[in-house]
Chain A
Amino acid sequence: MLAIRCQLLGETFEGGAPEDPGAAEWPPSWMRLFSALVAVADHTDPPEVELLEKLEQLQPPAIVADPPALADAPEMAFERQAWVPINKTAKKVEEAKSTSLPGRLANGARGWARFVPRSPDILYSWEDDPLTDAERALLASLCRRVPYLGRSTSPVIVEVVDAGVLEEGVLVPASSREEDPESTDLPTYPVRVPFSGALAALRDAHERKNAGKPGDPWAVGAYVDYRPRVRRSHPPTIRGPFRELVIFALGGPQRDGRHAVEFTDLLRKAVMANLPRPLPAVHGHGPSESPRCAFLALPFVGHPHADGHIIGLAVAVPELEPADLRDLWWALGATAERGLSSPVLGQFTLQRLAPVEQRRAPLALQAWRWTRPSDTWVTAYPAVLDRFVKDRTEIPALIRQTILNSGLPEPVEITSALRPFSGTLPGALDLHPRETTRPGHREGFRPYRHLYLRFAAPVRGPVVIGSMRHYGLGLCVPVTSPATSAAREAEPRDA
């Protein structure tokens, strides 16, 4: 495995696409990075030249960027335009049109294409390791010398890194062999890559440019179609009890995640009121094993500045009969149209987001945030356990039973704590017992715990655990890499 990480030091990337210089090239292509390496190399040093010749022959790498492609966030691409002073003096007074520099020509218009990525890191990775140790060390030395990518207004740090297996936001060459039946109808993007002879072509363009002749080093490159990576899941993903997640953006006064149950109770009642007939999946009165919807309050968690306030509401829908589904969709639409209102919480609008809008919405409103298959999950709200206990020693077994009762497989690892795992999931809610029951229900407070779970295989979300799961408590967030921080958090934990 070979990977090069490029970290942007500012908030923007500036560099135009050769086919359309007014549009930014995002993600920055492997050809662009290769050109940067060529620009910093010592061309009198045979090992460096040999390394460049080897790099131009490499298979195109997978590219990880956020957003993965400009088409995913076209509203973050801009062209900055300005008048710039032309470097010429006037020969005649009528040519001297500059208003600030006497005797100079009028200013000329210039434009700079710019893109604002969500993450400053771009990763280029090759599955195999095509380089010897010596070549790898030399590549690391070349990377250290790269000051910017694109224009000099995008300063960077470029490093050879060890990257794990990458799952998200990955673009791969469309010809790569990990074919998945689902991937055939995905969009493709042309990305520039080096080719056999790219080094010579760059040198030639550079010579011409230096001599003041037309020569565009940035137009060198062969185009290869890339597409988003869709991996066959190995091992196969385990599906939880829910089939679909319907997400609403919440508009109105900002409310803390402590009000989660008040919101979900309100949403459930509104949906019930809009149903043409009672639906057991919503009201929950029926055989205990019949599928039920979970009403969720989606909090702002997982970012260093996260404060746990509620950004959206959602309904996790289980497998239902087509007629029931139809009535439920109708009721959800009617509920969104009318919004929510409560004397305690206030007035709120609900906006159902289309998939395309989700891509640009806050993370919490994106379905994959809650459904992405992962073997590691951590609670944003504590999970309320399934029964009362006489003493604390019963709790570990009860947690295990509660997870199974929630329709999930048995985890291979469970860490539980009364307080949230804030190091792993900043913004996770630290609830008071009275915030874990439905408004107006006085059934006493059942024990509740924050959980950090690892399963033997990836589980597809949403993962919601515990006796209050239909009201959104016990909602979990997938964790990309098992964060060791969970085990290190200095909170009192259950045995």
Chain B
Amino acid sequence: MAVHMADLDALYERLAAAVTLQSDDAAIRIRAEYEPQAGPGAKVFPPTYMESNGTRYHFERRWSPEGTPVEVVVLDSYQSQANRCEAALDRVADRLRLPRILWRFELDGNVLELSNLSVPHRSRDAYIIHGIVGGKKFGETEVGKALNDATDSSLDAYLAFSPTDLIYGFWDSWQGKRTQLRIARSYTSEMIGWQPERGRRAAIKIDPLVLPAEYEVNRSDWQGIGESKKSKSQVTTLSNLGYGTNPKAGTPQDEFGGVAVRSISRLGVLSLTGLARLRFRDEAVNRAGRTALAALALAGDRLAFGGAGIHLRSGSDLVLRNESLEWVQRGARTEPLELSRDDAVQLVDLARERLAAAGVAWQAEPVVVSPSGPLAEVIRNVLTARGLDDAEG
């Protein structure tokens, strides 16, 4: 154990040297190969985007080892991979004593809860910015004010209250502020499938009642909502209400029929040079803060991707075939790095203690924010489908 601690300590020191630009280590790169759980060549389902050229998948090309362009398909984008790391950190936030801002909404005894690790714009998300804490606007609370006042030369508030923002990047786009703070991501990761063969979707949802999907009906009669306002959009089709066979017979399903790929690869980069740009109140916090962020980023990657496999989405369950981590150094040199999930979590523990020693203590008790009155009303209406008659179209 003592030896192990010494290893972790050495890893911490190496990261600290890199994020203060005292060494040649510029980044940590992760390469991995996966295959479908059903076996090589089984179909996987990429994420769908806007339709273009008759497909909703994102096809691109890469260079093969022979130097020829080969087709690839994006299986998971940068943004999605970052979200997976955040979700993994969110799940173990208590264990890591990770500071968080929770957005909570209650409706009829059900609680809807999102955190700064799950909302789209991180701590600068509209839900949080426009939230209320104990009757006070979030921006008027100590935490909210500190985040609002942060600048790119003093990011201490982010380090203390929403550290993951500094890893995955954010843009404080609220108008009327002195400066619109933007922090670029330092962690990037993407998964692609090589040489995809486009599939066709044979699946179809059969309506056992064989109701005609295009048949027009009065919405409130069918939804059983009872009293609804009279409006033009009272009339709807059965397919909009979930009845009828789907997709309609004869619809081409090539645009999202899945793909079979030769191989699946993931390439992730944690830019230690990127973390080195983050500035806090003094040199001690610079060193301990950036190293803590590096440890968090590694933990996010290991917790999200360090297992035996990964579930990307329905129809895309993958098994890890092989994986390698490496230090990328100046002068085009690399060096292997070994880091298990447990090690990564313990590294965060060590980094948290060193950060506290430098004067920034993480508060494990989350800040809880609720939506303000008007927004709560809108959300209540959305969730109960009230007023949706007007919102159709």
Contacts and interface: CB of A to CB of B under 8 A. Distances in A.
Interface of A: 7, 9-11, 40, 73, 75-76, 78, 80-85, 87-97, 101-104, 109, 114, 116, 118, 144-148, 152-153, 155, 157, 159, 209-212, 300, 303-306, 311, 360-364
A148 B273 CA distance: 9
A159 B27 contact: no
Interface in B371-393: 371, 374-375, 378-379, 381-383, 386-388, 390-391
A103 B375 contact: yes
A91 B49 CA distance: 28
B32 to A, nearest CB: 14
Interface stretch (B172-180, B241-249, B297-305, B337-345): B172-180
B252 interface: no
28 contacts: A9-B269, A10-B269, A40-B277, A75-B61, A81-B49, A81-B50, A82-B77, A87-B126, A89-B378, A91-B378, A92-B378, A93-B382, A93-B388, A93-B390, A96-B381, A96-B382, A96-B391, A103-B371, A144-B26, A144-B330, A145-B276, A147-B184, A147-B186, A147-B277, A152-B185, A155-B269, A210-B179, A311-B66
Contacts of A104: 126-127
Contacts, number: 170
B29 A9 contact: yes
A116 B188 contact: no
A100 to B, nearest CB: 9
Contacts of A9: 27, 29, 269, 271, 328
B180 A83 contact: no
Contacts of B121: 85, 87
Interface residues of B, number: 68
Contacts of B276: 145, 147
B45 interface: no
B180 A361 contact: no
Nearest to B172: A87
B267 A10 contact: yes
A159 B112 contact: no
Contacts of A93: 378, 381-382, 386-388, 390-391
B190 interface: yes
Nearest to B169: A152
Given A145-B277, A146-B273, A362 B67 contact: yes
Contacts of B58: 80-81
Contacts of A300: 66
A362 B60 contact: no
Nearest to B27: A9
A11 to B, nearest CB: 6
Query: Closest 7 CB pairs between A and B?
Result: A147-B274, A152-B184, A85-B120, A103-B379, A94-B391, A305-B65, A147-B273
Contact of B67 (A82, A90, A92, A303): A303
B273 A157 contact: yes
Contacts of A82: 49-50, 77, 79
A361 B120 contact: no
**What does DSSP make chain A's interface, helix, strand, loop or mixed?**
loop
B85 interface: no
A96 B378 contact: yes
B273 A73 contact: no
A363 B66 contact: yes
B17 interface: no
B106 to A, nearest CB: 13
Contacts of B269: 9-10, 155
Interface string B59-96: 01111011111000010011100000000000000000
A101 B120 contact: yes
Contacts of A118: 63, 67
Contacts of A89: 126-127, 130, 371, 375, 378
B203 interface: no
A155 B27 contact: yes
Interface in B262-319: 267, 269, 271, 273-274, 276-277
B125 interface: yes
A157 B23 CA distance: 13
A157 B330 contact: yes
B273 A109 contact: no
A73 B69 CA distance: 9
A9 B29 CA distance: 8
A109 B273 CA distance: 31
A94 B274 contact: no
Contacts of A73: 69
A234 to B, nearest CB: 30
Contacts of A76: 61, 63, 69
Contacts of A94: 387, 390-391
A212 B60 CA distance: 34
B188 A10 contact: yes
B63 A116 contact: yes
Contacts of A90: 375, 378
| Max count, chain B CB within 10 A of own CB: residue among A75, A144, A152, A211 | A152
B356 to A, nearest CB: 27
Contacts of B383: 102
A116 B391 CA distance: 43
A76 B71 CA distance: 10
Contacts of A78: 60-61
B110 interface: no
A146 B21 CA distance: 11
A152 B26 CA distance: 15
B224 to A, nearest CB: 20
B135 interface: no
Contacts of B375: 89-90, 103
A103 B386 CA distance: 13
Contacts of A109: 50
A251 B383 CA distance: 59
A40 B271 CA distance: 15
Interface string B139-173: 00000000000000000000000000000010001
B251 interface: no
A87 B125 contact: yes
A147 B332 CA distance: 15
Contacts of A146: 273
Contact of B267 (A11, A87, A306): A11
